[in-house]
């Protein structure tokens, strides 16, 4: 995967990075954030994005980190040619 002027390139198309950012924001809005006891802090995940999770000392930090994780998760799946990225908040990463 390469980058070019605000775009992320998968195998066949250029995708505006802003679209992936919008998708990640919509996904993070659906996150479940739970407190942890050891280590102290918060765990955040979105059920529809297996393997994408984050930890933060505060709930806000966990959500902020999760947003970055989701951008990378989606970009990697697109680069690999995966077609199972869920629509989040009405945002699809696939051309219709």
Give the pLDDT of the chain (96 residues) as one tens digit per residue.
444 445 554 444 567 889 999 999 999 999 999 999 888 999 999 999 999 999 999 999 999 999 999 999 999 999 999 999 999 999 999 876
95 inside domain = no
User: Which residues form the domain of 16?
Assistant: 12-79
85 inside domain = no
> Tell me, what CATH number does 52's domain have?
3.30.160.250
Q: Are strands 14-16 and 32-36 parallel, antiparallel or unpaired?
A: unpaired
94 inside domain = no
SS3 35: strand
92 inside domain = no
Widest Cα–Cα separation across the chain: 45
What's the pLDDT score for residue 31?
98
89 inside domain = no
53 inside domain = yes
The total number of structural domains that make up the chain: 1
Q: Which two tokens stand for residue 68?
A: 């970055």
Distance, in Å, from the CA atom of 24 to the CA atom of 91, rounded to the nearest integer, reads 9
What's the pLDDT score for residue 16?
85
Per-residue b or e along 61-79, where b marks 16 or more CB atoms closer than 10 Å to that residue's CB = ebbebbbebbbebbbebbe
């Amino acid at each position: 995967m390469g980058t070019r002027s605000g775009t992320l390139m998968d195998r066949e198309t250029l995708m505006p990075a802003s679209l992936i950012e919008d998708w990640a924001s919509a996904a993070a809005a659906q996150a479940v954030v739970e407190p942890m006891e050891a280590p102290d802090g918060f765990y955040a995940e979105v059920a529809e994005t297996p393997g994408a999770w984050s930890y933060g000392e505060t709930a806000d930090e966990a959500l902020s980190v999760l947003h970055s994780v989701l951008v990378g998760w989606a970009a990697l799946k697109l680069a690999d040619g995966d077609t199972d990225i869920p629509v989040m908040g009405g945002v699809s990463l696939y051309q219709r």
